[in-house]
């Protein structure tokens, strides 16, 4: 993605806006007392295990660093982003993605999850995951059909994303 600077606005014209929506960066999971308790047990249990199984202070410290990095990275998951799809580009807040760089879109849509993925042409694992907000897949199919972006119905959620969602990470 490229930041839309004044130079980019002069060089690249995205065309007319086709559709837009607002959504969170990722689904803000509601974590209850059970999740917090299990997280603390794993964190302190892992650190204690590292210390008792050989006095590995580095491993014990690593458990706490990983937990701190996790919470630091997820501190702003409730920010609402404005996504606009134009005739020749997708703009996520101020980030520009030309449609010519995308091979298509696909969904993970079920109870508790509603994500649209924009798949890049180069690097089959490279994608942008966007929450669908209050919209259903039909809304996106109609919108992306207007800009000739194909639905990649054979794509599925990968195992890591499934575990992240299941564990509410």
Convert the pLDDT of each residue in 90-143 to its tens digit: 998 888 889 999 999 988 877 777 888 888 987 656 888 888 888 889 999 999
Give the three-state DSSP class for 116. Answer: strand
- Cα separation, 64 vs 153, whole angstroms: 40
pTM (two decimals): 0.63
| pLDDT digit string, tens, across residues 143-157 | 999 999 998 888 777
Give the three-state DSSP class for 18. Answer: strand
What pLDDT, on the 0 to 100 scale, is given for residue 39? 82
Kindly state the tokens that stand for 85: 């799809």
Residue 20 has pLDDT above 60, yes or no: yes
What pLDDT, on the 0 to 100 scale, is given for residue 160? 65
Using pLDDT thresholds of 50, 70 and 90, give the confidence band for residue 163: low
| pLDDT digit string, tens, across residues 34-80 | 878 888 888 888 888 888 887 778 888 888 888 888 777 666 656 78
> Domain residue spans in the chain?
2-27+79-166, 33-73
- Which of the pair, 124 or 88, is modelled with greater confidence? 88
What pLDDT, on the 0 to 100 scale, is given for residue 135? 87
CA 100 to chain centre: 21
What pLDDT, on the 0 to 100 scale, is given for residue 23? 83
Torsion on CA atoms 105, 109, 113, 119, rounded to nearest 10? -10
- The domain defined by 2-27+79-166 folds into PH-domain like (2.30.29)
- The C-alpha angle 131, 91, 17, rounded to 5 degrees, equals 105
């Amino acid at each position: 993605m490229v930041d839309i600077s004044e130079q980019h606005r002069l060089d690249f014209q995205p065309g007319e806006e086709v559709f837009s929506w607002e959504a969170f960066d990722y689904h803000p999971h509601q974590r209850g007392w059970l999740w917090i308790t299990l997280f603390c047990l794993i964190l302190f249990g892992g650190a204690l295990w590292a210390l008792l199984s050989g006095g590995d202070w580095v491993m014990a410290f690593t458990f706490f660093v990983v937990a701190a990095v996790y919470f630091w990275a997820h501190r702003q998951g409730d920010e609402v982003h404005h996504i606009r799809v134009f005739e020749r580009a997708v703009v996520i807040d101020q980030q520009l993605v030309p449609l010519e760089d995308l091979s298509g879109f696909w969904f993970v849509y079920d109870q508790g999850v509603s994500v649209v993925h924009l798949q890049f042409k180069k690097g089959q694992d490279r994608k942008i995951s966007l929450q669908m907000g209050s919209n259903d897949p039909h809304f996106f199919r109609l919108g992306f059909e207007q800009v000739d972006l194909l639905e990649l119905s054979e794509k599925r959620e990968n195992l890591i994303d499934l575990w992240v969602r299941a564990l509410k990470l």
